[in-house]
Amino acid sequence: MEQLLFLDACMRGPEVSRTARLCRCFLEEYRALRPETRIVRRDLTGAELPVMTAARAEERDALARAGSDSPLLAPAREVAGSDLILVGAPYWDLSFPAALKVCLEWASCLGITFRYTEEGAQVGMSRARALVYVTTGGGPVRAQNLGYQYIQGWAAMMGVGETFCLAAENLDVWGTDVEAALARAAGEIPALVRRAAGR
Ligand X SMILES: Cc1cc2nc3c(=O)[nH]c(=O)nc-3n(C[C@H](O)[C@H](O)[C@H](O)COP(=O)(O)O)c2cc1C
Query: What are the residues binding ligand X (CB under 6 A)?
Result: 10, 12, 17-20, 90-94, 136-139, 171-172
Shortest distance, CB of residue 72 to ligand X, whole angstroms? 27
Between 102 and 112, name the residue whose CB sits nearer to ligand X: 102
Between 25 and 80, name the residue whose CB sits nearer to ligand X: 25
Backbone angles phi, psi at 144, to 5 degrees: -140, 65
Shortest distance, CB of residue 90 to ligand X, whole angstroms? 3
Shortest distance, CB of residue 172 to ligand X, whole angstroms? 5
Between 10 and 27, name the residue whose CB sits nearer to ligand X: 10
Residue 113 CB burial class (10 angstroms; 0-12, 13-18, ≥19): buried
- Number of Cβ within a 10 Å radius of residue 22: 23
Between 51 and 94, name the residue whose CB sits nearer to ligand X: 94
Shortest distance, CB of residue 102 to ligand X, whole angstroms? 15
Distance CA 52, CA 164 (A): 27
Shortest distance, CB of residue 180 to ligand X, whole angstroms? 14
Between 171 and 196, name the residue whose CB sits nearer to ligand X: 171
